[in-house]
Structure 1
């Protein structure tokens, strides 16, 4: 992808152990990882499958909440960086993720919608879970 190809949406993955309340508050609780790194880890739709495989093992995460955030709502506070937030990169480049630097706030003003993905048994559990949300999980 070229550096001028900004996404329409970016996504926050939340483990089943931290379900977002309905209605969403102004700010959801922050994960220990986000708190430690001082930014909110996000993924593009293209990165979601790999993020699920690497950080959300199906044996430990029978489901995951996926929060869809219109990019334009947070664009001014996004930095495109490696997973640790140490090396900047181009929008959409391999291994470069959107990180939100807005005081660790994601809630009803940022999130447009939420889906629950149910993992399936086996090695391709998340790939199976992603079937049927292709129209919602868009770049």
Structure 2
């Protein structure tokens, strides 16, 4: 029997340069990348390690927002990182994207702050394993 390709959660990684306010506002501003691309970039739990190492290598900490996939599934487009080449759910190199809106407070199931060890995310990822569910 094959493992489900549909995730339970998707994750939004937020740089330390754009901290999430406390309390969390009703609508979060789009990141510069999301605004420029016209969609919000998300990762599955399996994609987080590569996303951290590729796009957040210089960040000392990152906030990860966990989103219940079932609540946003109807809005998700599974595409490559550039928003082209639509593909199958959970495919290799294929990411969940949401177009034409910002993330709302109601979308966030929970959040976690990870801290790197001088650019090395392995220890933080190990500690977060139980929270980062596919």
The alpha-carbon deviation at position 32 of structure 1 amounts to 1.1
The ranges of structure 1 where at least 4 consecutive aligned residues each deviate by more than 2 angstroms after the TM superposition are 2-5
Query: What CA distance in whole angstroms lies between the structure 1 residues aligned with 2:74 and 2:40?
Result: 14
Give yes or no for contact 2:60–2:118 (8 Å, CA) kept in 1: no
Structure-to-structure mapping, 1:22-33, within 5 angstroms: 22-33=22-33
**Which residue matches 1:47?**
47
SS of 1:72's equivalent?
helix
Query: What CA distance in whole angstroms lies between the structure 2 residues aligned with 1:80 and 1:104?
Result: 16
| 100 and 3 in structure 1: CA distance in 2 versus 1, 3 angstrom threshold | farther
Candidates 85, 103, 106, aligned match of 1:106: 103
Structure-to-structure mapping, 1:111-126, within 5 angstroms: 111-121=108-118, 125-126=120-121
| 41 and 65 in structure 1: CA distance in 2 versus 1, 3 angstrom threshold | same
Q: CA RMSD in A?
A: 1.5
Task: Note the residue ranges of structure 1 that are not aligned, 5 or more in a row.
Answer: none
* 1:2-42 superposed Cα distances (whole Å, 9 cap, x missing partner): 79621000000000011111222221111111001111000
Task: Note the residue ranges of structure 2 that are not aligned, 5 or more in a row.
Answer: none
**Which residue matches 1:62?**
60
TM-score by length of structure 1 reads 0.90
**Which residue matches 1:11?**
11
Structure-to-structure mapping, 1:68-87, within 5 angstroms: 68-87=66-85
TM-score by length of structure 2 reads 0.93
- Aligned positions, number: 133
